Copies of this chain bind each other. A is one copy, B any other.
Amino acid sequence: MRGDSDEDRGSPEGLGAAHIPPTIYVIKFHKNARREAVEFLLERIESKHKYGGAELFIRCEPQKPGQGLVVHVSATKIKLLEIAEATELQKATADGLIQELSVRELDQFLHGGLTLDTILTPAEKEFCVRHELDAIVARDERNVPGYPAFSLFPGQSIVDFYISEDIIESMFPLHERHHLELVSASWYKAVFFASAVDRIRDYFGEGIAMYFSFLSFYTMLLLVPAVLGLAQFVVDNDSFSEYTFYAVFNLIWVTVFLEVWKRHCCGLAYRWGTLERELGDKARRNHRGDLRRNPVTDTLEPFYPPWKTKAKLYLVSLPSVGLCVLAALYLMVLAFWAEEHVLDWKKHYGSVAAILLNVPSAIYAVVVWFLNFYYKKLAVFLTEWENHRTQLEHDWHRMAKLVVFEFVNNFSSLFYIAFYIQDLDMLRSQVATMLIVTQMINHFQEALLPLVVKKAYLKISAKVVQEVRAHKTLGTYFTPPARPVHEDAVEEQPIPVLSLDVKDPRITQAREEGELDVYEDTYDDYLELFLQFGYVFLFSSVYPMAAFWALLNNVLELKTDAFKLCRVFRRPRVKKVPNIGVWQNCFELLGYIAVGTNCALLCLSPKLRQLVPTVSDVEWVLIFVMSEHLILVAKMALMWLMPDQPLWVREALDKVAYQSKMALRSERGKRTRRHLSRRFRSVHGVPRSGSRSRGTTPVESNAVNGAIRRRGNSENY
């Protein structure tokens, strides 16, 4: 900034918005952040690669005393392309193959009307800038400038550290309003979303696009069971043999769906260039441990012995989760027991006790809500404490804990009714109630609540939280008496960085979007689908209508989610994912459990039993055990027979691999031959026999053999 653009600083008002590339990221520093720390980071963002900088472009908003500095980060399109190549972004070439973007062969990627301006999608720009910001790491600095107590180690990400220590208050990508309008328009119009998915991916990135692709794919899957279920409801034929057909059909249908989805998803990931993307093996931000050289990269990083993580996981976390699950189960049984008692009382005391009829379930619901709330905190705490090395492992373990508990909370009462009370009618009404109520609550929470109530509430509470946080985490550094001095210093001398025009629309935009909620990740959305999937398929043999309600819900969900992302939340970070990750396994697991539950439900059904009165009880059970095993084997065979990658993806991957291998081999082959003939001729002292080695008859021996053979020395063979 200082070296190159002294002219610019001389006349800041001469540089309008037109001179600055569109803002991609907004960084809001804490209002009490030390000046040295802020300047240090800004210098790093701007300076050259060789000095550990990100080579990005920054402008601050007009600085006001008592407010944190707000910086708009951007990059020229040339710089973005450079980053895109360095981060190994993959894009389609003119011949339809997906290859790593290469600036030297840029013309290959500029096809179909793409230009230098449009070759990178908004999502890719966001990804590139964020990548560079994250790549600003500590070099020789032993501590954060201005904060002697915050020590750094070489290679530690500075932005991550600033965020975790609250020096940076918030950091988020800014919406591209024009592009957003295009995306949301196509989104609202789309019926089954296949067409909109690519647009979503271009704007919101692969993680969110993958979720929507899954949602629309899953909704289509539901069509067939929904129609069948509805038909059964209309005909009102309660024969259990039809239920049997329906259940078995569903079990196979789910397997086929999950397999077809895997292939479809693989095709998407290929087109999006994320298929072979490694999910970072880097140590995560909050990983603690003694500094040690990483044996792979040979750089310093915090090392925590894996056996300690394992020990914590198996000796503490696993038993804790187990206890919580047991507690939830115990509560559930208690609620049923209380309800039974109330029913008893009702028989004895009549209508007086009838008032109490819903009290047990109500208490149960409230207790479960609290249990859930605290369990979430526990799960997050335990996972943090286990101290997993990579973000991937951390997310996985947190998710596993949460999903197990959600599963138990949502389905244990159904299992209890089905297999302990064995009342199939009660089960049916319970499934129906829970499915429909859960879905209604979700829609309310997701779209209506944030729009109407939450927003107003948050505006107030955010400030409170902010105040509290400031005192808590930075309290040790900013003691109240010291603050006025510090603030005065800021007033006297603004941080020397070029400023945006006061009327720049981006200032308003950044303020508005800063007030929106943060869209954490797709966890809640997938969880919702996961639970719905459970309601529909675990008990499909008693309540075929579930698929229909789920279908209705999902069609609505596609629209409310679109609204949520485009209007309610801040622009989310882009995540590059090759598939839906561990959720694929969760859905598959549920598919397997569904085989067990449905077979057991059919086995319990008294109507089905009546059809074959001659069969003994043991034989009746064995029939269903055999059927369960057969269906499981069929499912596994199906999953195993269907290749996970479609043929066209495999061929395309092979082609690219083959081409680069051939190029490498021919390059290396030439060098090796030169090397060999140089090395061994000189060793054996045989002069280069030019005339022979340049002979052209095809039957001539090769030069190396020939040269050595002529010496007639057996040692050389």
Interface residues of A (CB under 8 A from B): 1-5, 7-8, 15, 18-22, 43, 46-49, 51-53, 55, 57, 76-79, 81-82, 85-86, 102-104, 281, 295-297, 306, 596, 617-618, 621-622, 625, 629, 647, 651, 654-655, 658, 665, 668-669, 671-673, 675-676, 680, 692, 695, 697-702, 704-706, 708-710, 712, 714, 716-717
Contacts and interface: CB of A to CB of B under 8 A. Distances in A.
A118 to B, nearest CB: 13
Contacts of A647: 306
A600 to B, nearest CB: 10
A651 B296 contact: yes
A644 to B, nearest CB: 16
A357 to B, nearest CB: 34
Contacts of A658: 296-297
A673 B82 contact: yes
A444 to B, nearest CB: 37
Given A8-B709, A78-B708, A701 B651 contact: no
Contacts of A48: 698, 700-702
Given A76-B716, A85-B672, A618-B617, A655 B295 contact: yes
Contacts of A76: 704-705, 708-709, 716-717
A717 B673 CA distance: 47
Nearest to A103: B672
B4 A676 contact: no
Nearest to A50: B698
A698 B47 contact: yes
Contact of A655 (B1, B2, B104, B296): B296
Contacts of A669: 86
A676 B46 contact: no
Given A19-B712, A55-B701, 14 more contacts: A2-B700, A3-B699, A5-B706, A7-B710, A48-B701, A57-B705, A77-B716, A77-B717, A78-B676, A82-B704, A306-B647, A596-B629, A617-B617, A625-B625
B78 A680 contact: yes
A389 B55 CA distance: 52
A699 B2 contact: yes
Contacts of A8: 709
B104 A55 contact: no
Contacts of A698: 43, 47-48, 51-53
Nearest to A46: B701
15 contacts: A3-B692, A3-B697, A4-B695, A15-B712, A19-B712, A47-B698, A47-B700, A48-B700, A51-B698, A53-B698, A76-B716, A85-B672, A86-B669, A103-B672, A103-B676
